[in-house]
Structure 1
Amino acid sequence: MGASGSRVGQARRPYARMVSTSPFGPRGGWAWRLLAGWAVGPQPRAAGVLAVLVGLYAVGAVRQPDWFALTGFVLLLLVGAFVLRWRYLVALVVLVAALTVVCAAIRPTVPTPGPLAVVALACGAVLVFGRERDQLGLQGAPGALMLVDLRDRLAVGGRLPTLPVGWQVDAVVRSAHGAGFSGDFLVSAVSDDLLEIVLVDVSGKGQAAGVRALQLQGALGGLLGALPADRFLPAANSYLLGQVWDEGFATAVHLAVDLRTGRYRVATAGHPPPAVLHAGSGRVEALGAVGGVALGVLPDVPPGVDSGVLGHGDAIVLYTDGLVDAPGRDVDQGIDRLLGVVEVAVAAGAGSAREVLAGVRAADDDDRGVVVLRRR
């Protein structure tokens, strides 16, 4: 690769990350902070307030049965399920159940079994929910805030840097069924005219995959720029081999581009091959960097590697298998379909990642990620 190729292999410092400013995140949502501040204080205080409210509602249910239905206890149970830890939640459920029976016994009108059944089912559901959350270590409102913070950190870690004039990069990551967590993520670094982008697909979907993705994203963000390009995926593989995960593997594609010359190096580990648009001929092809075993499966397995030069007008597209893999369809067919979309969306237009994702029309039952890098 010559002198320019050696630049791609040199270590760089990672791009500085931005701080989350999501209005719904723990740093930006005043409603979250208010509720969390009440919940993380002394739990007896929160439990005591709810107990008083339950008692007052019970008085109202006895004296004004037309205004205070027995099913209104369910609302207080829901509040308790959100803010109380396990033992205080159990106490609240017992109190609600007892007062519901008492109110039903002394109310002037004989209650129908429907409201009693609703309250009983709500008590059971709240106990099941609270127990599962306690086993996961998510206690009250702070546990919910932790999940929000995890989601926001995944989004912030995937932000792309601003590139110099003559380059354009765009990315989009969508989770399966619109869930708040995705097993697909990206990390990037840029320094001294060297851009590095890593697109990763963690095994699994949903919240479990999102938590693993956050852990891996932090590790890869530390490695990116700190190691030469040819050592990055082997180091990531060693990291995953050291983790004790039930589904401990991930596929990845690592792109390193010299922004002065356009020379690039791309390496894949069990990941679909990137697509390259050659503006001069209008030809779109899948790179030959197919191969390499997924990260976290076997030690000392080299990734598949390809290299080339992006000329003016050329573009390279990274993507995860959610765009090309579907039940009943061969992956090669999915890649051919993607190449056709890239030819239309990128060659003939602005070619944003969202346009590529929309053109492929991939099913919503898997996480999907797309990165489009173009040289103007």
Structure 2
Amino acid sequence: MSSPPDHTPAADVGHWLERSAARLVPRGSRMVTALVLVTLLIGVAIWFLPAWAPLVTLLVPLIFSSLVLGPRQLPWFVVYVLVVLTVVTLRQDASSRVLVAFGVMVTLGLMVLVSSRRRSRLGVAGVQGEMMFVDLRDRILRQGGIPHLPDQWYAAAELRSAGGTPFAGDFVVASEVDGRLEMVVVDVSGKGQAAGTRALLLSGAIGGLLSALPPREFLAAANTFLLRQDWDEGFATAIHLSLDLATGHYDLRSAGHPPAALRHAGSGRWEVLETEGPVLGLIDDVTYEAVSGEMRPGDALLLYTDGMVETRTRDISLGIDRMLGQAERLLRGQFEGGAKRLVEALGSRNDDRALLLVHRR
């Protein structure tokens, strides 16, 4: 004769949790299965051993799920954890400490639900989404890496963001095309996350345009690209250097950007190379005229963003004079590592900064 079924409250709770878990777990989702089982075991432990397993133990699967589950699975799992929490709380003594712990955990669960709704726009789990974003940033920033140059040339770029993070509104893109070094320094309008997001998109587009178009057409194409984005703050300044690595001949074109500076090895003096052109993303069908010259052995060229020379209390022209004075002191006879020394010594810590140094040995 078979034994009668167990209808104790604890058994009913266990059966309910098992049925809920079966409905929650999607087929093939090992991570969700593991989390549901862990939550179930924690719930049973809290029910039978409240002195050894406090309510806050349920925070472990709740927080872990926010890191590894996708946006479709996470809301249902959070609801599952909160229901388990509500059931096992009925087993506890109705003390103020238990009620406060219950309220805090429900609040955290709701916060995870809100974050999961925002994450659903990306469609991936928290850690995976962060890894994808960082990988995208690294791939795009590698476009700004200086290509391998002949021994008689040295070039280096340095970036600093206002918040101290790798995401900034200033960036550098470089490419070698048919014996010419093509480099552009860009300053995207705005600050913070919005500027960093636009900079990531724009740097990818500029990297493609820089390698595909003749130098004289590059800024005009970048301007057209920005106009088509229809951003609220859809403008940027840029300066483009096209340098012949065999002869040292260069063409500089500017789109509303601070002027480049050239150091003549013969005289040891810096010359500001004034270039003019409209800002990118404001006016359609524009042309950008070049300022041309030749870099001789020993010469050096600086391209930079306004964060290097402009502050709230100092005009940009005075900032350029100060930068060139520091460059004379910091770069004398030692250009290797000079870009890093200049960025660390100059500029506003409240603004993004970028600097490009090119030297012909």
Q: Same fold (TM over 0.5)?
A: yes
Q: 2:233 aligns with which of 247, 252, 271?
A: 247
Partner residue in 1 for 2:174:
188
Partner residue in 2 for 1:264:
250
8 Å CA contact 1:199, 1:254 repeated in 2: yes
Larger Rg: 1 or 2?
A: 2
Q: 1:307 aligns with which of 292, 300, 307?
A: 292
Q: How far, CA to CA, are the matches of 1:320 and 1:153 in structure 2? A: 22
Question: Residues 131 and 263 of structure 1: is their aligned pair in 2 closer, same or farther, counting only changes over 3 Å?
Answer: same
Question: Residues 69 and 276 of structure 1: is their aligned pair in 2 closer, same or farther, counting only changes over 3 Å?
Answer: farther
Q: Give the 5 Å matches for 1:160-309.
A: 160-289=146-275, 291-303=276-288, 305-309=290-294
Partner residue in 2 for 1:125:
111
Q: How far, CA to CA, are the matches of 2:86 and 2:114 in structure 1? A: 21
Unaligned runs of 5+ in 2: 1-25
8 Å CA contact 1:71, 1:118 repeated in 2: no
Q: Which amino acid aligns with 1:72?
A: T
Q: Which amino acid aligns with 2:153?
A: W
Q: Which amino acid aligns with 1:293?
A: P
Partner residue in 1 for 2:8:
none
Partner residue in 2 for 1:344:
329
TM-score by length of 2: 0.84
Q: How far, CA to CA, are the matches of 1:191 and 1:241 in structure 2? A: 26
1:92 aligns with 2:77: yes
1:330 aligns with 2:327: no
Partner residue in 1 for 2:138:
152
Residue 234 of structure 1 and its aligned partner are, at CA, apart by 0.8
Q: How far, CA to CA, are the matches of 1:215 and 1:334 in structure 2? A: 30
Question: Residues 129 and 325 of structure 1: is their aligned pair in 2 closer, same or farther, counting only changes over 3 Å?
Answer: farther
Q: Residue 208 of structure 2 aligns to a residue in which SS? A: helix
Question: Residues 341 and 327 of structure 1: is their aligned pair in 2 closer, same or farther, counting only changes over 3 Å?
Answer: same
Residue 347 of structure 1 and its aligned partner are, at CA, apart by 2.8
| Cα deviation code 1:168-200 (max 9, x no counterpart) | 011112223122422222222224431111111
TM-score by length of 1: 0.81
| Cα deviation code 1:223-258 (max 9, x no counterpart) | 224322211111111121122323222211100111
Q: Which amino acid aligns with 1:320?
A: T
Residue 130 of structure 1 and its aligned partner are, at CA, apart by 1.2
Residue 139 of structure 1 and its aligned partner are, at CA, apart by 4.6
Q: 2:302 aligns with which of 284, 292, 317?
A: 317
Residue 286 of structure 1 and its aligned partner are, at CA, apart by 2.1
8 Å CA contact 2:140, 2:204 repeated in 1: no
Partner residue in 2 for 1:62:
47
Partner residue in 1 for 2:18:
none
8 Å CA contact 2:216, 2:288 repeated in 1: no
| Cα deviation code 1:283-309 (max 9, x no counterpart) | 1232111x3221111112333632222
Give the total of aligned pairs: 334
8 Å CA contact 2:71, 2:124 repeated in 1: no
Residue 140 of structure 1 and its aligned partner are, at CA, apart by 4.4
8 Å CA contact 1:285, 1:339 repeated in 2: no
Partner residue in 1 for 2:66:
81
Question: Residues 126 and 272 of structure 1: is their aligned pair in 2 closer, same or farther, counting only changes over 3 Å?
Answer: same
8 Å CA contact 1:83, 1:140 repeated in 2: yes
Residue 358 of structure 1 and its aligned partner are, at CA, apart by 1.0
Q: Which amino acid aligns with 2:107?
A: L
8 Å CA contact 1:256, 1:265 repeated in 2: yes
Identity of aligned residues (%): 43
1:367 aligns with 2:352: yes
Partner residue in 1 for 2:5:
none
8 Å CA contact 1:224, 1:232 repeated in 2: yes
8 Å CA contact 2:226, 2:281 repeated in 1: yes
Q: How far, CA to CA, are the matches of 2:156 and 2:143 in structure 1? A: 15
Partner residue in 2 for 1:37:
none
Residue 373 of structure 1 and its aligned partner are, at CA, apart by 0.3
Q: Which amino acid aligns with 2:63?
A: L
Q: Residue 106 of structure 1 aligns to a residue in which SS? A: coil
Q: How far, CA to CA, are the matches of 2:28 and 2:300 in structure 1? A: 56
Question: Residues 277 and 82 of structure 1: is their aligned pair in 2 closer, same or farther, counting only changes over 3 Å?
Answer: same
Residue 115 of structure 1 and its aligned partner are, at CA, apart by 1.8
Partner residue in 2 for 1:115:
101
Residue 69 of structure 1 and its aligned partner are, at CA, apart by 2.8
Q: How far, CA to CA, are the matches of 1:282 and 1:94 in structure 2? A: 71
Partner residue in 2 for 1:8:
none
The alignment's C-alpha RMSD in Å is 2.3
